[in-house]
């Protein structure tokens, strides 16, 4: 069983699962999870009324995309789209961050930015769970569980 806040997740109903993802957890997708015909700011907030907030501008600055809030996501590079996904997770201030290959499409400079941001989230109390083949990212983790299909 997996327990979260003392509750067995296998017994959660749909409402419990939705509440968990809405309030406590977020996912950083390998394929970005970006809506390409929406703005960068909207892709971070998923809420047009919050897209112009100071928090969005601060997070864009933190991920190296300051001043890009009103651009359409379709014009961004793969690495920039990945940083938008990470910015979304930071804005949500999630307790648990699941990240699938968060550095896969990044150059070395942006990889280091992303690693620093994920480490900052962890030092601020978030649980960061990564799936990665990036040995440099693995070397930055406090705990590593290796999955190998050839293991018995």
Rounded to 5°, angle at Cα 69 from 65 and 74 = 85
Is 30 domain-assigned? yes
With bands split at pLDDT 50, 70 and 90, how would you rate the model's confidence at 101? Answer: very high
pLDDT tens track for 18-43: 999 988 999 998 888 899 999 999 99
Give the domain CATH number at 81: 3.40.50.300
Is 143 domain-assigned? no
Task: Give the per-residue pLDDT at 33.
Answer: 87
* Number of structural domains found in the chain: 1
- H-type helices in the chain, by residue range? 14-23, 40-45, 54-62, 78-92, 108-123, 135-138
151, pLDDT greater than 70: no
With bands split at pLDDT 50, 70 and 90, how would you rate the model's confidence at 65? Answer: very high
Q: Which residue segment(s) compose the domain that 132 sits in?
A: 3-138
Task: Give the per-residue pLDDT at 107.
Answer: 86
Instruction: Say how many Å lie between the first and final Cα of the chain, rounded.
Output: 22
Task: Give the per-residue pLDDT at 152.
Answer: 55
Task: Give the per-residue pLDDT at 146.
Answer: 87
- % of the chain beyond a pLDDT of 70: 99
Task: Give the per-residue pLDDT at 104.
Answer: 84
Is 152 domain-assigned? no
pLDDT tens track for 68-83: 999 999 999 888 998 8
With bands split at pLDDT 50, 70 and 90, how would you rate the model's confidence at 4? Answer: confident
Q: How far is CA 46 from CA 32, 50, 85, 110, 142, in A?
A: 14, 8, 11, 24, 31
Kindly tell me the sign of the dihedral angle through the C-alpha atoms of 43, 47, 49, 53. Answer: negative
Is 149 domain-assigned? no
């Amino acid at each position: 069983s997996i327990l979260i806040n003392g509750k067995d997740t296998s017994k959660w109903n749909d409402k419990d699962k939705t509440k968990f993802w809405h309030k406590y957890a977020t996912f950083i997708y390998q394929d970005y999870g970006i809506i390409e015909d929406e703005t960068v700011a909207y892709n971070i907030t998923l809420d047009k009324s919050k897209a112009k907030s100071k928090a969005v501008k601060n997070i864009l600055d933190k991920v190296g995309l300051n001043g890009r809030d009103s651009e359409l996501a379709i014009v961004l590079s793969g690495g920039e789209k990945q940083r938008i996904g990470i910015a979304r997770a930071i804005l949500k201030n999630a307790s648990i961050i699941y990240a699938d290959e968060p550095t896969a499409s990044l150059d070395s400079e942006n990889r280091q930015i992303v690693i620093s941001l994920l480490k900052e989230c962890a030092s601020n109390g978030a649980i960061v769970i990564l799936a990665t083949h990036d040995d440099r990212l693995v070397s930055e983790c406090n705990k590593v569980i290796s999955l190998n299909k050839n293991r018995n």
